[in-house]
Structure 1
Amino acid sequence: MSLKISLKAGERLFVGGAVVQNGQTPCDLLILNDVPLLREKDILNEDEASTHCRRIQLCVQLMYMDTPNLSGYQKKYAQLVEELLVAAPSTAALVAEINHHLAFGQYYQALKSAKRLVAYEEELIRHVQSA
Protein backbone atom coordinates (compact mmCIF):
# COMPACT_ATOMS: atom_id res chain seq x y z
CA MET A 1 0.00 0.00 0.00
CA SER A 2 1.47 3.36 -0.98
CA LEU A 3 1.15 6.67 0.84
CA LYS A 4 0.78 9.94 -1.05
CA ILE A 5 2.35 12.97 0.64
CA SER A 6 1.78 16.48 -0.70
CA LEU A 7 4.59 18.85 0.17
CA LYS A 8 4.49 22.62 0.10
CA ALA A 9 7.38 24.56 -1.37
CA GLY A 10 10.39 24.27 0.95
CA GLU A 11 8.67 21.78 3.29
CA ARG A 12 10.86 19.13 4.89
CA LEU A 13 10.06 15.50 5.56
CA PHE A 14 11.86 12.82 7.57
CA VAL A 15 11.82 9.54 5.63
CA GLY A 16 13.56 6.49 7.04
CA GLY A 17 16.61 8.28 8.40
CA ALA A 18 16.88 10.90 5.67
CA VAL A 19 15.67 14.49 5.71
CA VAL A 20 14.11 15.41 2.37
CA GLN A 21 13.39 19.04 1.50
CA ASN A 22 11.05 20.04 -1.29
CA GLY A 23 12.17 22.61 -3.84
CA GLN A 24 10.45 25.84 -4.81
CA THR A 25 7.15 24.36 -6.01
CA PRO A 26 4.61 22.07 -4.37
CA CYS A 27 4.94 18.38 -5.17
CA ASP A 28 3.45 14.98 -4.42
CA LEU A 29 5.55 12.05 -3.26
CA LEU A 30 4.49 8.43 -3.23
CA ILE A 31 6.03 6.35 -0.45
CA LEU A 32 5.86 2.75 -1.67
CA ASN A 33 7.04 0.87 1.41
CA ASP A 34 6.72 1.00 5.19
CA VAL A 35 9.34 3.41 6.60
CA PRO A 36 9.39 5.90 9.47
CA LEU A 37 7.94 9.13 8.10
CA LEU A 38 7.29 12.48 9.82
CA ARG A 39 6.61 15.94 8.50
CA GLU A 40 8.85 18.68 9.87
CA LYS A 41 5.86 20.35 11.57
CA ASP A 42 5.17 17.13 13.52
CA ILE A 43 8.71 16.69 14.85
CA LEU A 44 9.30 17.61 18.48
CA ASN A 45 12.79 19.06 19.00
CA GLU A 46 14.74 18.31 22.15
CA ASP A 47 14.59 21.94 23.33
CA GLU A 48 10.78 21.85 22.97
CA ALA A 49 10.54 18.86 25.33
CA SER A 50 10.07 21.15 28.33
CA THR A 51 7.52 19.09 30.28
CA HIS A 52 7.45 15.51 31.48
CA CYS A 53 4.88 14.35 28.93
CA ARG A 54 6.71 16.12 26.12
CA ARG A 55 9.87 14.22 27.12
CA ILE A 56 7.84 11.01 26.89
CA GLN A 57 6.64 12.08 23.43
CA LEU A 58 10.24 12.78 22.42
CA CYS A 59 11.30 9.28 23.56
CA VAL A 60 8.53 7.67 21.53
CA GLN A 61 9.42 9.82 18.51
CA LEU A 62 13.05 8.75 18.78
CA MET A 63 12.02 5.08 19.07
CA TYR A 64 10.17 5.56 15.79
CA MET A 65 12.88 7.54 13.99
CA ASP A 66 16.12 6.11 15.41
CA THR A 67 15.67 2.34 15.70
CA PRO A 68 19.41 1.54 16.04
CA ASN A 69 19.27 3.21 19.49
CA LEU A 70 15.88 1.77 20.45
CA SER A 71 16.94 0.09 23.71
CA GLY A 72 18.30 3.34 25.16
CA TYR A 73 15.07 5.16 24.35
CA GLN A 74 13.04 2.33 25.84
CA LYS A 75 14.94 2.61 29.13
CA LYS A 76 14.48 6.37 29.28
CA TYR A 77 10.79 5.99 28.38
CA ALA A 78 10.26 3.46 31.18
CA GLN A 79 11.89 5.81 33.70
CA LEU A 80 9.81 8.79 32.57
CA VAL A 81 6.57 6.80 32.62
CA GLU A 82 7.27 5.48 36.12
CA GLU A 83 7.83 9.04 37.39
CA LEU A 84 4.72 10.29 35.59
CA LEU A 85 2.45 7.62 37.03
CA VAL A 86 3.61 8.47 40.56
CA ALA A 87 3.06 12.20 40.01
CA ALA A 88 -0.13 11.97 37.93
CA PRO A 89 -1.97 8.64 38.27
CA SER A 90 -4.80 10.01 36.10
CA THR A 91 -2.53 9.55 33.07
CA ALA A 92 -2.53 5.74 33.43
CA ALA A 93 -5.05 5.06 30.65
CA LEU A 94 -3.14 7.21 28.15
CA VAL A 95 0.15 5.59 29.14
CA ALA A 96 -1.45 2.14 28.74
CA GLU A 97 -2.52 3.11 25.22
CA ILE A 98 1.04 4.14 24.34
CA ASN A 99 2.44 0.95 25.90
CA HIS A 100 0.00 -1.19 23.90
CA HIS A 101 1.20 0.31 20.62
CA LEU A 102 4.86 0.04 21.64
CA ALA A 103 4.42 -3.63 22.58
CA PHE A 104 3.26 -4.37 19.03
CA GLY A 105 5.93 -2.21 17.36
CA GLN A 106 3.35 0.35 16.25
CA TYR A 107 5.57 3.38 16.83
CA TYR A 108 3.62 5.85 14.72
CA GLN A 109 0.39 5.00 16.56
CA ALA A 110 2.28 5.23 19.88
CA LEU A 111 3.46 8.68 18.84
CA LYS A 112 -0.11 9.78 18.14
CA SER A 113 -1.11 8.51 21.60
CA ALA A 114 1.84 10.36 23.14
CA LYS A 115 0.54 13.57 21.56
CA ARG A 116 -2.81 12.95 23.29
CA LEU A 117 -0.89 12.53 26.56
CA VAL A 118 0.75 15.93 26.01
CA ALA A 119 -2.65 17.49 25.30
CA TYR A 120 -3.98 16.01 28.55
CA GLU A 121 -0.97 17.38 30.44
CA GLU A 122 -1.61 20.84 28.96
CA GLU A 123 -5.24 20.60 30.06
CA LEU A 124 -4.16 19.71 33.62
CA ILE A 125 -1.74 22.63 33.70
CA ARG A 126 -4.40 25.07 32.47
CA HIS A 127 -6.80 23.77 35.14
CA VAL A 128 -4.22 24.28 37.90
CA GLN A 129 -3.32 27.75 36.65
CA SER A 130 -6.96 28.86 36.57
CA ALA A 131 -7.65 27.61 40.08
Structure 2
Amino acid sequence: MALKVELKPGERFILGDSVITNDDQRTRLFIEGTTPILREKDILRLDQADTPCKKIYLVVQMMYLSPDPRQHHEMYFDLVKQVLEAAPSTRAYIDDVNSKILTGEMYKALKAARKLIGYEGELLGNVSSA
Protein backbone atom coordinates (compact mmCIF):
# COMPACT_ATOMS: atom_id res chain seq x y z
CA MET A 1 0.00 0.00 0.00
CA ALA A 2 1.33 3.40 -0.98
CA LEU A 3 1.92 6.21 1.49
CA LYS A 4 -0.17 9.26 0.60
CA VAL A 5 1.61 12.55 1.25
CA GLU A 6 -0.23 15.83 0.78
CA LEU A 7 2.01 18.87 0.54
CA LYS A 8 1.17 22.51 1.04
CA PRO A 9 2.64 25.07 -1.36
CA GLY A 10 6.37 25.40 -0.68
CA GLU A 11 6.42 22.52 1.82
CA ARG A 12 9.52 20.36 1.90
CA PHE A 13 10.14 16.74 2.81
CA ILE A 14 13.04 14.34 2.88
CA LEU A 15 12.87 11.24 0.72
CA GLY A 16 15.90 9.08 1.42
CA ASP A 17 18.86 11.43 1.15
CA SER A 18 17.06 14.01 -1.01
CA VAL A 19 15.18 17.13 0.03
CA ILE A 20 12.14 17.73 -2.14
CA THR A 21 10.34 21.09 -2.22
CA ASN A 22 6.79 21.45 -3.45
CA ASP A 23 5.97 24.16 -5.98
CA ASP A 24 3.31 26.81 -5.40
CA GLN A 25 0.29 24.46 -5.48
CA ARG A 26 -1.09 21.87 -3.11
CA THR A 27 0.18 18.44 -4.22
CA ARG A 28 -0.68 14.85 -3.43
CA LEU A 29 1.94 12.13 -3.87
CA PHE A 30 1.63 8.38 -3.50
CA ILE A 31 4.95 6.84 -2.51
CA GLU A 32 5.68 3.12 -2.53
CA GLY A 33 8.80 1.51 -1.13
CA THR A 34 10.85 1.43 2.01
CA THR A 35 12.90 4.60 1.61
CA PRO A 36 12.68 6.80 4.73
CA ILE A 37 10.39 9.81 4.38
CA LEU A 38 10.19 12.81 6.71
CA ARG A 39 7.78 15.69 6.32
CA GLU A 40 8.98 19.19 7.08
CA LYS A 41 7.01 19.30 10.35
CA ASP A 42 8.94 16.23 11.60
CA ILE A 43 12.40 17.46 10.59
CA LEU A 44 14.59 18.91 13.31
CA ARG A 45 17.54 20.93 12.05
CA LEU A 46 20.86 21.00 13.89
CA ASP A 47 20.40 24.64 14.94
CA GLN A 48 17.03 23.74 16.51
CA ALA A 49 18.49 20.98 18.72
CA ASP A 50 19.02 23.31 21.67
CA THR A 51 18.07 20.96 24.53
CA PRO A 52 19.33 17.49 25.48
CA CYS A 53 16.11 15.74 24.43
CA LYS A 54 15.99 17.59 21.12
CA LYS A 55 19.53 16.33 20.53
CA ILE A 56 18.28 12.79 21.17
CA TYR A 57 15.50 13.39 18.61
CA LEU A 58 18.07 14.68 16.11
CA VAL A 59 20.20 11.55 16.51
CA VAL A 60 17.15 9.29 16.16
CA GLN A 61 16.29 11.26 13.01
CA MET A 62 19.80 10.64 11.69
CA MET A 63 19.42 6.91 12.49
CA TYR A 64 16.09 6.82 10.63
CA LEU A 65 17.54 8.45 7.53
CA SER A 66 20.84 6.56 7.58
CA PRO A 67 21.53 3.39 5.60
CA ASP A 68 23.52 2.23 8.67
CA PRO A 69 21.87 3.50 11.87
CA ARG A 70 24.55 1.84 14.02
CA GLN A 71 27.00 4.61 13.18
CA HIS A 72 24.90 6.92 15.39
CA HIS A 73 24.42 4.56 18.34
CA GLU A 74 27.38 5.79 20.40
CA MET A 75 26.23 9.41 20.22
CA TYR A 76 22.66 8.34 21.01
CA PHE A 77 23.63 6.33 24.10
CA ASP A 78 25.91 9.11 25.37
CA LEU A 79 23.03 11.58 25.16
CA VAL A 80 20.59 9.14 26.78
CA LYS A 81 23.01 8.59 29.67
CA GLN A 82 23.36 12.35 30.21
CA VAL A 83 19.59 12.89 30.17
CA LEU A 84 18.91 10.01 32.56
CA GLU A 85 21.54 11.32 34.99
CA ALA A 86 20.07 14.83 34.90
CA ALA A 87 16.40 13.79 34.86
CA PRO A 88 15.74 10.20 35.95
CA SER A 89 11.99 10.76 35.50
CA THR A 90 12.55 10.60 31.72
CA ARG A 91 13.26 6.86 31.92
CA ALA A 92 9.81 5.70 30.72
CA TYR A 93 10.02 7.99 27.68
CA ILE A 94 13.56 6.90 26.88
CA ASP A 95 12.64 3.23 27.35
CA ASP A 96 9.87 3.74 24.77
CA VAL A 97 12.31 5.27 22.27
CA ASN A 98 14.81 2.46 22.94
CA SER A 99 12.24 -0.29 22.40
CA LYS A 100 11.21 1.22 19.05
CA ILE A 101 14.84 1.43 17.96
CA LEU A 102 15.53 -2.16 19.01
CA THR A 103 12.56 -3.44 16.99
CA GLY A 104 13.60 -1.39 13.95
CA GLU A 105 10.57 0.90 14.11
CA MET A 106 12.56 4.06 13.54
CA TYR A 107 9.65 6.31 12.54
CA LYS A 108 7.82 5.26 15.71
CA ALA A 109 11.03 5.97 17.64
CA LEU A 110 10.88 9.52 16.28
CA LYS A 111 7.31 9.87 17.50
CA ALA A 112 8.34 8.56 20.92
CA ALA A 113 11.26 11.01 20.98
CA ARG A 114 8.78 13.81 20.22
CA LYS A 115 6.91 12.82 23.42
CA LEU A 116 10.24 12.93 25.29
CA ILE A 117 10.74 16.50 24.06
CA GLY A 118 7.24 17.39 25.28
CA TYR A 119 8.02 15.98 28.72
CA GLU A 120 11.32 17.85 28.79
CA GLY A 121 9.38 21.03 28.04
CA GLU A 122 7.14 20.35 31.03
CA LEU A 123 10.18 19.81 33.26
CA LEU A 124 11.85 22.99 32.04
CA GLY A 125 8.58 24.89 32.50
CA ASN A 126 8.37 23.68 36.10
CA VAL A 127 11.96 24.77 36.78
CA SER A 128 11.47 28.25 35.31
CA SER A 129 8.21 28.82 37.20
CA ALA A 130 9.72 27.72 40.54
Instruction: Verify same fold: TM over 0.5.
Output: yes
Query: Equivalent pairs: percent with the same residue?
Result: 43
SS at match of 1:14: strand
> Residue 5 of structure 1: SS of its match in structure 2?
strand
Residue type of the alignment partner of 2:89? S
Residue 120 of structure 1 aligns with which residue? 119
SS of corresponding position for 1:67:
coil
Matched, 1:104 2:103: yes
Match of 2:16 in 1: 16
Structure 1, unaligned stretches of length 5 or more?
none
CA displacement at 1:73 relative to structure 2: 1.2
Q: How many residues align?
A: 130
1:43 to 2:43 alignment: yes
Tell me the distance in 1 between the aligned counterparts of 2:49 and 2:56. 8
| Deviant stretches of 4+, over 4 Å | none
Aligned mates of 2:71, 2:83 — CA distance in 1: 18
TM-score (norm: length of structure 1): 0.94
Alignment partners' CA distance in 1, 2:32 and 2:44: 25
Q: Where does residue 28 of structure 1 map in the other structure?
A: 28
Structure 2: which 5+ residue stretches go unaligned? none
Residue 21 of structure 1 and its aligned partner are, at CA, apart by 1.2
Amino acid at match of 2:39: R
Q: What TM-score does the superposition give when structure 2 sets the normalisation length?
A: 0.95
AA partner of residue 81 (structure 2):
E
3-state SS of 1:98 partner = helix
